Structure 1
Amino acid sequence: MSPSRGLIFARTVSRAHQRQFRRYQSTFRTFSGSQIPVQVYISKSNNPYLNLSLEHHLFQTTPPKIATLLIYTNSPSIVLGRNQNPWVEVNHPQFASTFNPPLIVRRRSGGGTVFHDLGNVNYSVAMPTSAFCRDKHAEMVVRALRKLGVAEAVVNKRHDIVILPDGMTVEETRLTREVVGTKKVSGSAYKLTTRRSYHHGTMLLESRLEDVRGYLRSAAREWIKARGVDSVRSMVGNVRIEGGKFVGAVVEEFGRMYVGEEGMEILKDAMASRRDRIDGEVGVCWVGEEAGEVEEVQKGIAELMVSSRVYGRVLYAELVV
């Protein structure tokens, strides 16, 4: 190929990419700014800065009466709760001795510190505060797990999703009693405002549990007295389900909860085709890096990156001096 033809080809590809980018960007902007009562967003990005900022942007800008579900998977990262102290949550020696350590990011909701990687899936449901319930959507996820064959899944008294021991099963989706030997597969955190609230959690599917235990076991915990809320330690486990199946099952249950069987079927079809779809009262939008072009999302990303760099520099400086 001659240089001139190569240049023409490159320009053609660039224009096609720009058209595709604008199409997806327009879909996201149009969808997120609409009055569709039930909205599902599937993030195609593994960037924790973008995904957490996208979550906050949707929460801040979506009208209060609309129910939204956002699902995303992050690259390795330690995500602190809003009121937590990184010195007593993170295993600093392991963090400093790792060649490519996970990012440290502080989210805007409460709850404990969690470890994200490509083996778990994060779900976030926002709704009017008047309809908020701490167990409502955790039980929705339990129903999705049970349809995928995880009959031992249940919500415990701490609003976490756990797996019952030794194949034990119960009919109800929420326990009102303590059961010894359960393994936590999904924690819950919340953010409540006057008009709108959300519940989000991270589901351990095939996560590296050695990293979860290693990075979140601070040797300084017993020696530091500081402000902040400590995480509650729990035995954890994987449910061993393929990510796409889990996402599809949760989306279907979300549709069934808010729009009934008809809405569930619409979402099921949309997930199978992996295409953006708006149909009456429900819609699905796949979101990529183009969401980072939205000004409010950009600001959120910049804010999270600054705090992440500060944590990393301070940890490194304190540990090598």
Structure 2
Amino acid sequence: MSMKLQSPLRLVLVRSDQHDPHLNLAVEERLMESVSADGRDNKFLYLWQNERTVVIGRHQNAWAECRVSLLEDEGGHLARRGSGGGAVYHDLGNLNFSIVMPRRLHDPARSSRMIVEAVRMLGVEAQLSGRNDILADGRKFSGNAFQLTAQAGLHHGTLLIATDFERVSRYLSVSKVKLEAKGVTSVRSRITNLTDLQPDVNVADACRALAAAFAREYADTDSTETALE
């Protein structure tokens, strides 16, 4: 894992090369504690991936949302995040992003627009759908959640790039009522990979696009110094 902090510091990109969900979520928590270190406003973009993992929301019942025994028997991991929202499946075809900054600067609408802009850089026309979803061609490729602490605001989410959708259906328990409320009959009919729309897109491309959109959106006019890994 690489993490560079410089002084003075405004924008920081942190890229994890670990695939352990518990470690990656712990790093996210540590970044939330570091947004106002030494009186400076640090704005973090944290990019990370988990291998064969189901992450559930803060208040969810794991056994209601996930086939826990099957997941663990097949070498998968179960983790709980600090934000609300639904259960999600992570693998190495998915990229997770976390945007962390001081609470007073937290603006979900702005950070969501940043994600849309990054995806457009990849050649995919994307649109926000409500507060939590980002769609392309009418199907979801990004789910988002938010968390506030006394000092920090967090916006984190997924980018489905080349996720194994067979495993999504295999491990997640999605009720028929929830599917019907979305007007679909299966999880697969509701979601899409970015590679379905732009076959040449990969995780490295997505990381570069997110870093560029982050720098463009949040660079302060009085400081151009960034630390990008």
Q: Shorter chain as normaliser: what TM range? A: 0.7 to 0.9
Q: Which residue of 2 aligns with 1:190?
A: 146
Post-superposition offset of 1:61? 2.6
Q: Deviations over 1:234-253 (max 9, x none)?
A: 61110112110011001001
Counting matched residue pairs gives 211
* Cα distance in structure 1, aligned partners of 2:49 and 2:162: 12
Post-superposition offset of 1:33? 7.3
Structure 1 unaligned regions, length at least 5: 1-23, 165-181, 223-231, 264-279, 286-321
| Structure 1 position 47 matched with structure 2 position 20 | yes
* Cα distance in structure 2, aligned partners of 1:93 and 1:53: 24
- Normalized per residue, the structure richer in helix is 1
Post-superposition offset of 1:281? 2.3
Which residue type is aligned with residue 125 of structure 1?
A: I
Q: Which residue of 2 aligns with 1:169?
A: none
* Cα distance in structure 1, aligned partners of 2:168 and 2:109: 24
| Correspondence for 1:141 among 108, 115, 129 | 115
TM-score by length of 1: 0.60
Q: Structure 1's 154 and 87: CA in aligned 2 closer, same or farther, altered over 3 A?
A: same
Structure 2 unaligned regions, length at least 5: 196-200
The secondary structure found in structure 1 opposite 2:123 is coil
* Cα distance in structure 1, aligned partners of 2:61 and 2:156: 20
| Structure 1 position 200 matched with structure 2 position 156 | yes
Q: Which residue of 2 aligns with 1:36?
A: 9
* Cα distance in structure 2, aligned partners of 1:249 and 1:260: 19
Q: Structure 1's 217 and 139: CA in aligned 2 closer, same or farther, altered over 3 A?
A: same
| Structure 1 position 209 matched with structure 2 position 165 | yes
| Structure 1 position 282 matched with structure 2 position 223 | no
1:100-249 matched pairs, under 5 angstroms = 100-151=74-125, 153-164=126-137, 182-217=138-173, 235-240=190-195, 241-249=201-209
Q: Structure 1's 260 and 128: CA in aligned 2 closer, same or farther, altered over 3 A?
A: closer
Which residue type is aligned with residue 13 of structure 2?
A: V
- Normalized per residue, the structure richer in strand is 2
* Cα distance in structure 1, aligned partners of 2:213 and 2:122: 12
1:49-88 matched pairs, under 5 angstroms = 49-63=22-36, 65-88=41-64
Decide whether the 8 Å contact of 1:71 with 1:124 is kept in 2. yes
Q: Structure 1's 141 and 103: CA in aligned 2 closer, same or farther, altered over 3 A?
A: same
Greater CA radius of gyration, 1 or 2? Answer: 1
The secondary structure found in structure 1 opposite 2:143 is strand
Post-superposition offset of 1:260? 7.0
Decide whether the 8 Å contact of 1:67 with 1:127 is kept in 2. yes
Decide whether the 8 Å contact of 1:128 with 1:196 is kept in 2. yes
Using the TM superposition, name which of 137-146 and 59-68 deviates more: 59-68
Decide whether the 8 Å contact of 1:68 with 1:127 is kept in 2. yes
Post-superposition offset of 1:76? 0.7
Decide whether the 8 Å contact of 2:55 with 2:78 is kept in 1. yes
Percent of aligned pairs with the same amino acid = 31
Structure 1 runs of 4+ with >6 Å offset = none
Post-superposition offset of 1:100? 2.0
